[in-house]
Amino acid sequence: MKLLDLLARVCAVLAGVLLTLITLMTCVSLIGRNTIGTTLVGDFELTGVATGAAIALFMPWCQVRHGNIIVDFFTAKASERTNALLDRFGCLLLALVFALLAWRTTHGALSAWAGHSESQIIGFPEWVVHTTMVPPFILTSVIALWQAAFGLDGAPEAHG
């Protein structure tokens, strides 16, 4: 789990860098628009591209930190063991969903590549966006599988 945690941290740092760059680009664009009447061409498209990648890059860290919303209204009075089993089952479902997302995003990337699909204003290749999302989706799936197998603490030695 230490390697998965490290990879999740790297993804989160990359997401933070992307969001910082988006913020700086937006500031430059707004200052330019309001002072000299010119803006960065395609800033809206680049913001969308980077935000999509950043969201995907935050997913592994969210799973490592158990940051997903858990609705425990019906299980609040259940035993600790029952809740642990339900948590593991939830991790398994999440792993399957993220594996599906990785597969379909890969398919989307290949389709965008084959179709030479680009953004409208600056011609940014859409396959790049899809491609940046696949590794964090796979990592999130692997982390969730690990947690389904060994529990949310992620320590295999504690479970046998």
pLDDT for 119: 85
Number of helices (H) and strands (E) in the chain: give both, helices first. 4, 0
Q: Which two tokens stand for residue 118?
A: 């680009």
pTM attached to this predicted model:
0.86
Half-sphere exposure of 117 (CA within 13 A, CB side): 13
Per-residue pLDDT averaged across 142-159, rounded? 76
pLDDT tens column, 75-123: 888 888 998 899 999 999 999 999 999 999 999 999 999 999 988 888 8
Higher-scoring residue by pLDDT: 136, 156: 136
